[in-house]
Amino acid sequence: MNGPWSELEDGFAAGRLFSQGVSYTYDDVILLPHYIDFPADAVDLSTRLSRRVPLSIPCVASPMDTVSEAAMAVAMAALGGAAIVHGNASPAHQAAIVRSAKSRRIPFVTDPAFFSPSDRIAYVTDFNSALYALVTESGTAKSRVVGVVALSDWESLADKNVPVSEYMRPAPASAPASCDFEQVAAFLAGEGLEYAPLVAVDGEVVDLVMAEQVERIRSFPKLGVPSLGPDGRFLVGAAIGTREEDKERLELLVKAGANVVVVDSSQGNSIYQIDMIKHAKNLYPQLDVIGGNVVTIAQAQNLIKAGVDGLRVGMGSGSICTTQEVCAVGRGQATAVYKVASFAKDHDVPVIADGGIANSGHIVKALVLGASTVMMGSFLAGSHEAPGVYEYQNGRRVKKYRGMGSLEAMTKGSDARYLGDTLKLKVAQGVVGAVADKGSILKFIPYTMQAVKQGFQDLGASSLQSAHNLLQSEVLRLEVRTGAAQVEGGIHGLVSYEKKPF
């Protein structure tokens, strides 16, 4: 495309579009369709999170305390993606979340309460919002199950001040914690059970699974190829910081079985991060370490030199981010992804497009512009699997979603990390908000991936590699949309409408 301008030349190649001194984001650009010679179902979205971590879908859950804990980690891994467990907790607590996710092969977490036979249950809240609680010899997960307490049985007690041994149901047969979803479903059906404890080889009670949950998940699209670590267990990532105390955090996370760590900073090109990357790679050469965040080639170059196995791209693009407003620093996300990915590909370092994903079209754009995965916060925060409970705001069912740089997250519990020991004045770079209930990710992520496949088909890209080849060979063409073109591309001119994507 170096010759003179031709009338037949149509659209722009990415290299030319993104070198005009303008910061573009996903909505600014539109991809021009190419040629279809395969069905959408033939599109293969398998990819890599980092150098040595394969995924079957390009989806990653953000390391945020309103997004990624054990339930998100197991559901994401069961779908073939991954979650990065947040670090806004003590190292021991974060490691316990990782251990909990890695202890099971089913895509959900019930987290029942435990009682001993002599315990008395005084409040409904003692049930942890579950329909059943487990009774074990010692009242902890580390001893033998002797019974089950049903919430309904407790509710019908006239006198609540009686020991659970008087009204507990007999202990049902247990299933091994290593059973996957299909095996658990077959076990419950085979034994004709309503519920069964999941027990690890060492005797620790991992969870209580219910036939009702299994039925609900069966009504969702079929689970894909799960993400498993070399240990054969669900693949789980975890975030660390760049302080001295994060070295201990790293050690506990590795012991808990974390398969990949993300060094979590808004501006990753720092002496602190480079030291942490070198420390982690030196201590655990087999562990993939993802660095970031970066938005420029120079930042990426430094972290690649330090030894990262993956790069997280995005500064200020997140839905809860105020970094660009507060610090005047960042970049439009489409430009950032294209620039960093163009450089990183020559070093075999996969790029995670982090922040600003609001729909399947944004995912297509991020991947086509060179990313290997997308990282999402708000897209997943209203789901069943996100931490927290649903509340009602103006009649809408919502869940809290907050920035990790919001004052509320920074001052949470024992965590002093973001307050900066030397930083006396705290300035937030994020907000606290709420997002609408989206149901289970086990349902909406498969539909979202189907939409991404349809986008890839329109472009004539049968895989991520093929999309990246089209980008680099300049066969892929794109353009910037004017404000009016963006309006036209959305829903317009209707008195009313119902938007029901699937």
Ligand X SMILES: O=c1[nH]c(=O)c2[nH+]cn([C@@H]3O[C@H](COP(=O)(O)O)[C@@H](O)[C@H]3O)c2[nH]1
**Sign of the alpha-carbon dihedral angle for 423, 428, 430, 433:** positive
Dist CA 179 CA 181 (whole Å): 7
Pick out residues in 194-253 that bind ligand NAI (CB under 6 A).
241-243
Of 108, 354, 385, 452, the one binding ligand X by CB under 6 A: 354
378 binds, among ligand NAI, ligand X, K ion, none (CB under 5 to 8 A by kind): ligand X
357 sits near K ion (criterion: CB under 5 A): no
377 sits near ligand X (criterion: CB under 6 A): yes
Q: Which residues pair with 239 in a beta bridge?
A: 262
Of 315, 334, 341, 374, the one binding ligand NAI by CB under 6 A: 315
Of 91, 107, 316, 370, the one binding ligand X by CB under 6 A: 316
**Does 35 count as an annotated binding residue?**
no
Q: Are 174 and 196 in contact (CB under 8 A)?
A: yes
**Does 321 count as an annotated binding residue?**
yes
Q: Which strands sit side by side in the sheet containing 132-136, from one edge to the other? A: 114-115, 132-136, 145-150, 169-170
Dist CA 131 CA 110 (whole Å): 10
Dist CA 148 CA 162 (whole Å): 15
Stretch that binds ligand X, among 115-123, 319-327, 338-346, 382-390 (CB under 6 A): 319-327
Structure tokens at 280: 């982690």
**Does 355 count as an annotated binding residue?**
yes
418 sits near ligand NAI (criterion: CB under 6 A): yes
Strand pairing report for 396-402 and 391-393: antiparallel
Of 58, 237, 316, 382, the one binding ligand NAI by CB under 6 A: 316
| Minimal distance, residue 376 CB to ligand NAI, in Å | 13
Site string for ligand X, 58-77 (x = CB under 6 A): ----x-x-------------
448 sits near ligand NAI (criterion: CB under 6 A): no
What 8-state DSSP symbol labels residue 335?
H
In the chain, how long is the greatest CA-to-CA distance? 89
Q: Which residues pair with 478 in a beta bridge?
A: 12, 31
406 sits near ligand X (criterion: CB under 6 A): yes
**Does 265 count as an annotated binding residue?**
yes
- Which residues are marked as active site? 321, 417
Q: Respond yes or no on whether the N-terminal peptide bond of residue 293 is cis (omega within 30° of 0).
A: yes
Pick out residues in 23-82 that bind ligand NAI (CB under 6 A).
none
272 binds, among K ion, ligand NAI, ligand X, none (CB under 5 to 8 A by kind): ligand NAI
| Minimal distance, residue 432 CB to K ion, in Å | 14
CA atoms within 13 Å, Cβ hemisphere of 137: 5
**Does 420 count as an annotated binding residue?**
no
| Minimal distance, residue 423 CB to ligand X, in Å | 15
Ranges of H-type helices in 208-332: 211-218, 246-256, 271-283, 297-306, 323-327
Pick out residues in 285-304 that bind ligand NAI (CB under 6 A).
293
Phi, then psi, of 101 in degrees rounded to 5: -65, -40
Of 14, 29, 31, 321, the one binding K ion by CB under 5 A: 321
Structure tokens at 422: 């030397």
Stretch that binds ligand NAI, among 123-131, 166-174, 315-323, 485-493 (CB under 6 A): 315-323
Helices 441-459 and 360-368, packing angle to 10 deg = 50
Stretch that binds ligand X, among 21-29, 158-166, 193-201, 402-410 (CB under 6 A): 402-410
Structure tokens at 239: 């975030």
Dist CA 467 CA 460 (whole Å): 8
Dist CA 385 CA 84 (whole Å): 14
Torsion, Cα 291 76 365 314, to 10 degrees, reads -30
Question: Toward K ion, which CB reaches closer, 134 or 380?
Answer: 380
Question: Toward ligand NAI, which CB reaches closer, 201 or 423?
Answer: 423
| Minimal distance, residue 393 CB to ligand X, in Å | 18
448 sits near ligand X (criterion: CB under 6 A): no
Give the chain's end-to-end CA distance (angstroms, integer). 41
Contact footprint for ligand X (CB under 6 A): 62, 64, 266, 293, 314, 316, 318-323, 354-357, 375-379, 403-406, 429-430
Contact footprint for K ion (CB under 5 A): 321
Per the annotation, binding residues for NAD(+) are 264-266, 314-316
Contact footprint for ligand NAI (CB under 6 A): 241-243, 264-267, 270, 272, 293, 314-316, 318, 321, 323, 355, 404-405, 417-418, 420, 429-430
